[in-house]
Structure 1
Amino acid sequence: MSKSYRELALDGLWNNNPATVQILGLCPLLAVTGTVVNALGLGLATLVVLMGSNICVSLIRQYVTDAVRLPAFVMIIAAMVTVIEMLMQAFTFELYEILGIFIPLIVTNCTVLGRADAFASKNPVLPAALDGFMMGLGFLVILLILGGMRELIGLGTLFTNMQLLFGPMAADWQIQVVENYGGFLFAILPPGAFVGLGLIIAGKNVIDKRLKAIQKARASDEPKVSRRVRTTGKVS
C-alpha cells in the first residue's frame, strides 16, 4: 500500500474529496440535495456502494484479467446498487420514490468506478475498504452541508421529514429555524445548488490557501532557528 491510513482518511475527507476536488457525481449532488434527509439518504447509499464495491474488487483483483476488468467492476457496482435499491424499497419506500432515478444512477457515478479501478484493484481488502468508506464519507459530508444550506435558506427549517429515513421516531426532529418564513425558491431549485456548491468549494480553497501560507511561514522560520542554534548553542 503506497498510502498510510491517515493519508487515505485525509484524501477522502479533504485533499481529494469527490465533490469539492474531483468534482464528480454532480448530477445527483445538485439534483436531490434540497433537504437534509434527501442528502443523507443518497449519501448513505453512495457510501455503502463505494465501500462494498471496493471490497469486492479488491478480493477479485488477482483473478480478473485486463480484458474484462472494467466490465467486471461495473457488474459488481450494479449488483451493489441493486441491493441498495431493494433495501430502500423495503424499508424507506417514500424516500426511495423521492430520490427516484438517482439511486440507480449511482452505477454511473465516476467516483465509484474510479476508486474501484484506481485504488481497490491494486490494494488489499482493508485499505480498499477504508478508501471506499472515507471517499463515501467525504461525499456524504458535502451532501449534508449543501442539503442543510438549501433547506435552511429555501424553507427556513432543518431536518424536515426525517421520518422518511428513520421512521416515526424522527417525526419530531424538524427544527423551525425561521418562524413564518415565506421561502426562497431559488435555493431549492438546481441553480441554488450550483451556487451553494460553488460557495463550499470557494470556502475550501480559502482554507487551503491559508494553510499553505502558514506552512510556508513555518518552513521559512526553521532555517533561522537552526542558524541561531548553531551560533548560540540554544534556541532564543
Structure 2
Amino acid sequence: MSLFSKQNKKVFTEPLNINNPIMVQVLGICSSLAVTSQLKPAIVMGLAVTIITAFSNVIISLIRNTIPNRIRIIVQLVVVAALVTIVSQILKAVAYDVSVQLSVYVGLIITNCILMGRLEAFAMTNKPWPSFLDGIGNGLGYAMILVIVGAFREFFGRGSLLGFQIIPKSVCDAGWNNGMMTMPAMALILLGCVIWIHRAYFVKDDK
C-alpha cells in the first residue's frame, strides 16, 4: 500500500473535520476547557498530545501481535505514561513557564480519552504507518480546537495573543477586556458554540 494512498489520506484528514475528536467524538473535553485561557499553553498542550498520540500509536502497532489480550490496556498505559514523562521533562527544560501554566494537565494526558481510544480502536488493528497518521490527525484535530478557543479567550479576555498586547492597554482599561472570557465556564460555552457551528454547517445530514 502506498504511503500516501487514498485510505491513508482519509485516516489523516477525517479527524481534522468530519471525525474530529472534540467536535464529533466529544473526547478530551476536560483538558480543552482547562488549558485554553491563553493561546500559548493551548498550542503547547495540543502539540504535546499530537506527539504522544502519534508515537504511542506507532509503538502499540509495532508490538500489537505480542501483547496478551488480557493485559493490553495495562501495556497501552505504560507506553503512554513513558511518553508523557519524556514530554513533561522536555517541557520543563525548554518552556518552564508554560509547563507551570499547564500544571497537572500534562501528566493527565495519560488518561486522555483520545489517546486510549485511538490505541484501542486503531493502533491495535493497523500497521505502524496508518497508525502514525491516525495519531497525527487526531492530535492536530484536538490541537485545532484548543487553538481556536484559546485565541478567542485570550483576545477578548485580555486583548492580547501569545502574550503580545494587540489591543492598546488604554482601550482594555476602558472596557474591551472581558473577565468572563478567562473563566472555565466561558470555555465550555465557546466549545459548545464551536461544536454547534461545525455540526450546523460542516456535517451533512444522511437522512
SS, match of residue 117 in structure 2: helix
Equivalent residue for 1:169? none
SS, match of residue 19 in structure 1: coil
- C-alpha separation in 1, matches of 2:183 and 2:36: 10
- CA drift at 1:87: 0.4
- CA drift at 1:62: 0.7
TM-score of the aligned structures, taking structure 1 as reference length: 0.80
Matched residues, number: 199
| 1:69 correspondence with 2:72 | yes
Equivalent residue for 2:94? 91
What CA deviation, in whole Å up to 9, does each residue of 1:10-34 have, x standing for no partner?
A: 3210111111111111111101101
What CA deviation, in whole Å up to 9, does each residue of 1:150-169 have, x standing for no partner?
A: 11111112221xxxxxxxxx
What does residue range 100-111 of structure 1 map to in structure 2 within 5 Å? 100-111=103-114
Higher RCO (CA < 8 A, seq sep 6+): 2
| 1:24 correspondence with 2:27 | yes
What CA deviation, in whole Å up to 9, does each residue of 1:46-86 have, x standing for no partner?
A: 11110010010001001111011110001000001000011
- C-alpha separation in 1, matches of 2:61 and 2:100: 32
SS, match of residue 106 in structure 1: helix
TM-score of the aligned structures, taking structure 2 as reference length: 0.91
| 1:190 correspondence with 2:195 | no
- Runs of 4+ aligned structure 1 residues displaced above 6 Å come to none
- C-alpha separation in 1, matches of 2:17 and 2:168: 31
What does residue range 1-236 of structure 1 map to in structure 2 within 5 Å? 4-160=7-163, 174-177=164-167, 180-182=171-173, 183-208=177-202, 212=205
Aligned-partner residue type, residue 201 of structure 1: I
- C-alpha separation in 1, matches of 2:199 and 2:159: 28
Conserved? CA contact 1:157–1:178, under 8 Å: no
What CA deviation, in whole Å up to 9, does each residue of 1:79-123 have, x standing for no partner?
A: 010000110111111110110000000000011011001100100
Conserved? CA contact 2:18–2:202, under 8 Å: no
Equivalent residue for 1:225? none
- C-alpha separation in 2, matches of 1:147 and 1:104: 20
- C-alpha separation in 2, matches of 1:146 and 1:178: 22
Q: Structure 2 stretches of 5 or more lacking a match? A: none
Aligned-partner residue type, residue 129 of structure 1: F
Percent identical across equivalent pairs? 33
SS, match of residue 127 in structure 1: helix
Conserved? CA contact 2:157–2:179, under 8 Å: yes
What's the C-alpha RMSD, in Å, of the aligned pairs?
1.8
